[in-house]
Amino acid sequence: MDTKNEKKSRFSKKMICIIIASITVLFWGVWMTFRVNSSSMNVNKDGITISTVQKGEFNDYIRVVGQVIPDHIIYLDAIEGGRVEERLIEEGAQVKAGDIILRLSNPLLNIGILQSEANLAYQENELRNTRLNMEQEHLSLKQERITLNKELIQKQRRFQQYSHLFQKNLISREDYLQSQEDYNSISEQVKILDERIKQDVQLRDNQLQSLNENIRNIKKSLLLVRERLENLKIKAPVDGQLGNIEAQIGQSISQGERIGQIITPELKIEAKIDEHYVERIHPGLLANFEREGKKYSLKITKVYPEVQNGQFRTDLHFISDRPVNIRSGQTYHLDLQLGDPIEAVLIPRGSFYQSSGGEYVYVVDEKEKVAHLRQVRLGRQNPLYYEVLDGLNPGEKVIISGYDLFGKNEHLKLR
């Protein structure tokens, strides 16, 4: 009897352990099911994009939109005011430097120029007359010097003769003294005249130098005055294409008024870049684009300091051949190189970045049944890839489409 009761008791304890273990397993399964369901959601696999993480060359570049514009625009302003008489070249035509585009007329300017020319001619003639009078005065002094010199020789000869005669008591003392006084007098007159001639030469040289300078200035002034008539012809200052002309025949143009422009043949590309890259953009960076199977290279030559509407402007010039049929106003998509290529772990670009900010991604298992949220660290980006700094390995699969509908669920069940 005792043996039967012991066996029965042992059986009861075993059953109790089994029941307790079953309850525990059941409770744990219910808890796990509740936990998983609270941080997971079902996702239609056809509505997402899955890509593979890879290792390869990361090209540090951005894609920007550039517009072709003239390198220089030369504006045409009316130097002299007047009435438009003739339009010789129409808008859009190619012009050479010196080509006459418009002819203006200005009667008042013509009259004023004629009066100025007459006045300048009169002054020039007066200066010439003054110079002639000075020459005549100089010649008169030279003639006077010749006459006095002749008289000096005569007086000197007479004085010498009288000296000999006076020594022999052949003439009176009065005659001798008279001849001496005449000789001394003429000698002093010659000295005074010589000094006068010397001063006259110096004065004449100074005055002639001044007069010649005045004549040169008058001629320059006359040339400038005549150029005002030439300014009534509106000419192309450089080679290029004639732009809009705001002048019609019969229209009155004021002095200094802008009437048109010339577009130079040289072209550049202006690109607007997001202010996010403002610290990385500087002159000398290279860019390129492809057109009709050919690659063209450019270089940033100027970075404008102003930021407007979240963008700043840059100028790029061709450093090699440019497209033959390039025209002002055309748009090109440029690849602007910011750094040298490097080996890196890469994720293809996708809209997931806008939702996660590059802080996490959903990693898909090998069977593509479940995706798990994982923290990552992304670096630079280009139009094709994001650079992975930490958190992913080559060969892993990630969802790169948008995460807006996923919330913060840690697991996605893919169906």
CATH of the domain at 288: 2.40.30.170
DSSP run (H or E) holding 263: strand 258-263
How far apart, in whole angstroms, are the C-alpha atoms of residue 119 and residue 127? 12
Residue ending a domain, choose from 175, 207, 230: 230
Per the structure block, which two tokens stand in for 399? 């969802």
> Band of the pLDDT at 293, cuts 50, 70, 90?
confident
Residues 6+ apart with CB under 8 A from 266: 70, 71, 72
Last residue of a domain, which of 337, 355, 378?
Answer: 337
Which structure tokens are listed for 394?
A: 């080559």
Name the amino acid, one letter, at 278: V
In a 13 Å sphere around the CA of 390, the CA atoms on its Cβ side amount to 3
Confidence of residue 320 (pLDDT cuts 50, 70, 90): confident
Contact between 58 and 380 (Cβ < 8 Å) = yes
Report the C-alpha gap between 381 and 348 in whole angstroms.
Answer: 10
What was the pLDDT predicted at 224? 78
Model confidence band, residue 28 (pLDDT cutoffs 50, 70, 90)? low
Joined tokens for residue 347: 């994720």
Does 153 lie in the same domain as 211?
A: yes
In terms of domains, do 205 and 215 share one? yes
pTM for the predicted model, two decimal places? 0.52
Rounded distance between C-alpha atoms, residue 79 and residue 232, angstroms: 8
| 276 and 214 share one domain | no
Chain Cα centroid distance, residue 125? 51
CB atoms within 10 A of CB 244: 9
Instruction: Tell me which amino acid residue 9 is.
Output: S
Q: Which two three-digit tokens encode residue 225?
A: 């005055």
Kindly state whether residues 247 and 319 are assigned to the same domain: no
Say if residue 100 is in the same domain as residue 158. no
Cβ atoms of 234 and 100 within 8 Å: the answer is yes
Question: Residue 225's domain spans which residues?
Answer: 107-230
Same domain, 359 and 387: yes
Q: How far apart are CA 275 and CA 331, in angstroms?
A: 21
Pair 331, 369 in one domain: no
**Cα–Cα distance for residue pair 64/383, rounded to 1 Å:** 10
CATH number of residue 239's parent domain: 2.40.50.100
pLDDT at 357 over 70: yes
Which token pair is 66? 């550039």
| One domain for residues 78 and 7 | no
Q: Which residues of 131-140 are buried (b: 16+ CB within 10 A; e: fewer)?
A: beebeeeeee
Total of domains in the chain: 5
User: Residue 222 is encoded by which pair of tokens?
Assistant: 């006359």
Report the C-alpha gap between 69 and 73 in whole angstroms.
10
Look up residue 133 and give its two tokens.
């009078």
DSSP string, 219-243: HHHHHHHHHHHHTTEEE-SSSEEEE
Domain identity same for 287 and 391: no
**Residue 197: left if φ>0, alpha if ψ -120 to 50, beta else—which one?**
alpha
Q: Are residues 180 and 329 in the same domain?
A: no
Assign 2 a pLDDT band (cuts: 50, 70, 90).
Answer: very low
Q: Domain of 410: which CATH number?
A: 2.40.420.20
91 lies in the same domain as 152: no
| pLDDT tens for each residue of 112-170 | 777 777 777 887 787 788 778 888 888 888 898 899 889 889 999 998 998 999 898 88
- Span 298-312, mean pLDDT? 93
| Spacing of C-alpha 368 from chain mean position | 56
Residue 36 has pLDDT above 60, yes or no: no
pLDDT 10s digits, 206-248 = 877 877 787 777 778 777 777 888 889 999 988 888 888 888 8
Please, what's the largest Cα pairwise distance for the chain?
214
Residues 6+ apart with CB under 8 A from 79: 231, 255, 256
What are 244-276's pLDDT values in tens digits? Answer: 888 889 999 998 899 888 888 888 999 999 998
Specify whether 277 is located in the same domain as 326. yes
CA angle 376, 381, 386 (to 5 degrees): 40
pLDDT in tens, 38-90: 478 888 888 899 999 999 988 888 999 999 988 888 889 998 889 999 999 98
